[in-house]
Structure 1
């Protein structure tokens, strides 16, 4: 199993994940209704250079790298729920929603070979592996893990947090859903244009209040900055 000694673990307790709009409400809200978190294979992530390692040693060592990554699954979250670009890119132009998670609860997930939630590091330089690295199990694993938590500086605005799941048990698909401990989801935050795709109050939303609260995003007056508001569905409709 890879080691997390070189990773910067997350200190804040509230973390977030953006979810896109889907006309099938049950499918769209499945992460909330089923209380699950999805881990994806790196090959299915939106950045083709995600988990990239510079191939200094030709095709043979690239094959070894692919074997190392074959049973790796990544879950991406963030410390930010009010980034206007991420609402556009990952929540279907602000028509989706964000789930807020309690990190202390997530860290009690009873799943084998789960790497803790750690910050992604951003750099203009890629991770490199030499022949010596490939011949050393410890060095090879450390650099593979570092690559998973390493991205180009152009992604720095995402303030990304990652957790990694390892194991051949999950390799039949390009994703694996983990069931979360009870009360791991601490808030539902609707996008500022969520209702543009939902002409009437979705029935499922009636069951999505947490502690009698529902949150939604709004532009601040006279600004392009988003702010989180708390209220009822009726107050959300009135704000649009």
Structure 2
């Protein structure tokens, strides 16, 4: 709660004066103005310390409500920087039998923010911390809360993009869970990399799919393989 106390110390109390209070203040000399502001801030600090339990409870409740509302209206696209990360292949590509899609991060689809305060429609890098950072409920950058993970996940090198739930193209229900699907412009896709354990049948299916649709004719098809000399994934052109 130190940040809240600092905010009180740095509060511009004058802008909250009534017209009568402001007139009284303006007629004071410099020394008395300083004494008046000091007294006001001491009173605010006393009120803060006296009510700190209620303030913490209110802040916690506000953050929980914010979290509920954010999850209700927001969907998150999660991406990684490296296509040859062994752990990412194992965890998210069916143990190397699936595939990786490489996107063009310069594509306009990933730069849809409408203003500097917009939280949606653009890529942002996830930050990794050993300690849980304090969240200031009065901050305008509250969305940063959703861009923080334990440094145990640092290997993922994750980027996120927030999307609005109502903008999804299709809703699918699987095992009583509702999933929102979004349409990605074909121009966003640069490359598809098949896993080390991908079957020949799957390779042919993917190759034919890309060839048959002119919208995907620019997409490069690669295949991953395990290095013979290192614990690494190498990527070959097909």
TM-score bracket for this pair, using the shorter chain length: 0.5 to 0.7
Question: What CA distance in whole angstroms lies between the structure 1 residues aligned with 2:203 and 2:165?
Answer: 41
Deviates more, 1:147-156 or 1:113-122: 113-122
Aligned pair 1:150/2:148, yes or no? yes
CA-CA distance at 1:212 after TM superposition: 7.5
Shift in alpha-carbon separation, 1:194–1:104, aligned structure 2, 3 A: same
Shift in alpha-carbon separation, 1:68–1:93, aligned structure 2, 3 A: closer
* 1:83 aligned partner: 85
* 2:214 aligned partner: none
TM-score by length of 1: 0.58
Residues 82-106 of structure 1: CA deviation (Å, up to 9, x unaligned):
0001100000100000011111224
Larger strand proportion, structure 1 or 2? 1
Where do 1:7-156 residues align within 5 Å?
A: 57=57, 60-61=61-62, 62-107=64-109, 114-129=120-135, 133=137, 136=138, 139=139, 141-143=140-142, 145-156=143-154
Question: What CA distance in whole angstroms lies between the structure 1 residues aligned with 2:81 and 2:219?
Answer: 23
Question: What CA distance in whole angstroms lies between the structure 2 residues aligned with 1:117 and 1:187?
Answer: 19
Residues 116-168 of structure 1: CA deviation (Å, up to 9, x unaligned):
101110001224345xx2xx4xx1x512x111111110000011111112366
Larger helix proportion, structure 1 or 2? 2
Larger gyration radius, structure 1 or structure 2:
2
Please point out which of 178, 181, 191 is paired with 2:182.
Answer: 178
> How many correspondences in the alignment?
165
CA-CA distance at 1:180 after TM superposition: 2.5
TM-score by length of 2: 0.59
CA-CA distance at 1:178 after TM superposition: 2.6
Question: What CA distance in whole angstroms lies between the structure 2 residues aligned with 1:108 and 1:64?
Answer: 25
Residues 64-96 of structure 1: CA deviation (Å, up to 9, x unaligned):
432243212110001110000110000010000
Question: What CA distance in whole angstroms lies between the structure 1 residues aligned with 2:107 and 2:66?
Answer: 35
Residues 8-53 of structure 1: CA deviation (Å, up to 9, x unaligned):
xxxxxxxxxxxxxxxxxxxxxxxxxxxxxxxxxxxxxxxxxxxxxx
Report if aligned partners of 1:109, 1:180 keep a CA contact under 8 Å in 2.
no
